[in-house]
Amino acid sequence: MPSNTKAGQTWARFRVTDGTEASLITATGGVLGGEVEDYEITTYASAVYPGENDWVTLAYEDRWPFAGDYDFNDLVLNYRTTQLMEGSNVVGYKIDGQLIGIGATYHNGFAVRLKETVNNTTHTILRDEVDEDAISFIIDGQPQTASPLEAGRNEAILIFMQDTWTHVSKESGCSYFRTEDNCDENVKVTFSMSIPLKEPKAKSASPGTLLDPFIFATDGFYHGDFLVGKNARGWEVHIKNQAPTEAFDTSLYSVINADDASVQSNGLYFLNENGLPWAMEVGMQWLHPLEGVDITDAYGSFAEFAQSSGKQKPTWFNDYSISNVVVRGEQ
C-alpha cells in the first residue's frame, strides 16, 4: 500500500494465479499468467502510540500490596497501541508487544483494558462494542484460536497471556527470563492483537494512547498468603493511579501490614506512602534492573521522579548504573 494512500474506500488490483507460473515471477514480484481482478477495499488512518517504530516499556512488581524487592523486572514488556480511524471515528485497535523479561517466582497474566483516564475524564470501550469474532490474535507468529476477550465483564478486557511463564523458557543455569547476568540470550516473545469494533465510535469518546495494561494473578498458583482461598483473578496491579477493573477484589486494600497507600476517594491507586508505584510506563525501550537490584539503586533519579509525580527528574531513565541493569534488555 503506498504511504500516501488516503483513508476510505479505494480499489486494489491483483493478478490471481494457480501457481503454475511461479517459475516466471518477474524481478518486481509479478507473474506473467493468471487473471487480473479488481477488489474494493477500505483503508484506515491510524494514531500510533508512542510511534510507528517505537515502543514504551511496561515494568511491573508483583508483590502488591507489599513492597517486595522493588527491582521492577517481575514482568517487563515493550508495548505499542494503534487506534484505527475512519474519518473522525475509531473503528478498532491494534496492540503490539514484546515480552522481554520475567524476574518473578509468582505466575502472572497480562491483560489490557480498553480504557483511558486523562484529566479526570474517562473513556471506555465496553465489551459488547467489540466485534469478538473478528479479533485477530497472534503470539510468536502463531494464531491463537481462543477468544482473548474476557467473558462476563461489562468493559472490554483483552487477556494476552493467562500465565506469562508458559510462553518463555529459561536458559540453562538461570532462574528467570532475561533478568540475570549472562541470562539475556533468549529470544523475546512477540504478540499482536487487532480488535475491531462493531460500530465506529467518535474519537472524542474513545480511549487512546496507553490504554490500561495490567497484570493479574494466574489461577492455580500461590501468590502470597493473603490471597490463599481468594479468587486469583481478583488480584491486579495497574499503572500508578489507574483504578483497577471490575474483576478486582477490593478487600485486598485492607490486607494487614500492607505497604499500599491507595485512597480510592482521592483517585490514588497502586502507590506507597512515598508515592512510589508497583507498575510504570517508561517512554522508550528501557534497560530494566538486574534481579534483586532495587530500582533506586539502578536508577539514581527514579525516587525523586516518582515522588514528585513526574515533575522532577523527567529523564531519570538516562541516569543508570551500568552494572545494575540488563544491558540487552532493550534489544
Predicted local distance difference test score (pLDDT) of residue 4: 46
Q: Is residue 3 part of a domain?
A: no
Predicted local distance difference test score (pLDDT) of residue 9: 54
**Cα angle, residue 279 at apex, residues 57 and 177 outer, rounded to 5°:** 60
Q: Is residue 1 part of a domain?
A: no
Residues 30 and 123 in one domain: no
Residues 21 and 160 in one domain: no
Residues 24 and 63 in one domain: no
Tell me the Cα Rg of the chain.
Answer: 22
Q: Is residue 114 part of a domain?
A: yes
Residues 141 and 255 in one domain: yes
Residues 36 and 73 in one domain: no
Residues 159 and 238 in one domain: yes
Predicted local distance difference test score (pLDDT) of residue 46: 87
Q: Is residue 2 part of a domain?
A: no
Q: What is the pTM of this model?
A: 0.86
Q: Domain containing 32: what range?
A: 8-43
In whole angstroms, what is the distance from residue 166 CA to residue 102 CA? 11
Those residues with Cβ within 8 angstroms of residue 107's Cβ, 6 or more apart along the chain or in another chain? 163, 164, 165, 217, 218, 221, 223
Q: Is residue 99 part of a domain?
A: yes
Nearest to 130 by CA among 160, 146, 151, 161: 151
Residues 13 and 109 in one domain: no
| Distances in whole angstroms, Cα of residue 283 to Cα of each of 56, 78, 108, 207, 216 | 5, 10, 23, 18, 23
State the burial class of residue 60 (Cβ atoms within 10 Å of its Cβ: 0-12, 13-18, 19+). Answer: buried
Q: What would the grid cell of residue 87 be?
A: 474519518
Residues 75 and 35 in one domain: no
Residues 28 and 115 in one domain: no
Mean pLDDT per segment of 10 residues, for the chain of length 331 residues?
50 58 51 61 75 96 95 97 96 98 97 93 97 98 98 99 96 93 86 99 95 99 98 98 98 97 96 94 93 95 89 94 81 44
Residues 274 and 179 in one domain: yes
Residues 92 and 17 in one domain: no
Confirm if 47 and 85 have CB atoms less than 8 A apart: yes
Q: Is residue 214 part of a domain?
A: yes
Residues 148 and 21 in one domain: no
Domain count, the chain: 2
Q: Is residue 221 part of a domain?
A: yes
Those residues with Cβ within 8 angstroms of residue 330's Cβ, 6 or more apart along the chain or in another chain? 100, 285, 286, 287
Predicted local distance difference test score (pLDDT) of residue 40: 54
Q: Is residue 141 part of a domain?
A: yes
Q: What would the grid cell of residue 245 be?
A: 477493573
